[in-house]
Amino acid sequence: MGAIAQQAQGRQMVEMTPKKNLQMLMRKSWPRIASVVGNNISPDRLYQMCVSAINKTPKLAECSPQSVLSCFMTCSALGLEPSNVDGLGRAYVLPFYNKKSGGMEAT
């Protein structure tokens, strides 16, 4: 048995929850999103607001990751904070069921 197989033999596969998967994809895509952040908000603050939006609205994790990341990219480009966190109504990222695609999407 090879060295990699021996290392993997004792490990268990852990299923990723949709929320963890979305957060992992967001971390991976963050450099592109942060590259379009305006001057009125820091990339770190926007990241924390996006994570808080996912935590505050669990249905976002059920949405297609592309739609959620697209919403965060739009917020970044417009310099808006995803405000389902503080309720100030700057930019709400909301989940909805799309009949055409047959799945959840964020808008």
Task: Tell me what pLDDT residue 106 has.
Answer: 94
Q: From first to last of its 107 residues, what are the pLDDT tens digits of the chain?
A: 566 655 656 666 667 788 888 888 888 988 988 888 878 788 888 888 888 888 888 899 999 999 999 998 898 888 888 876 566 667 889 999 999 999 999 99
- Decide if 95 contacts 60 (C-beta within 8 A): yes
Q: List Cα–Cα distances, 53 to 3, 44, 101, in angstroms.
A: 42, 14, 24
Residue whose pair of structure tokens reads 């994790």 in the numeric block: 61
DSSP 81-96: -BTTTT-S-SB---EE
* Helix or strand holding residue 47 (H, E): helix 43-56
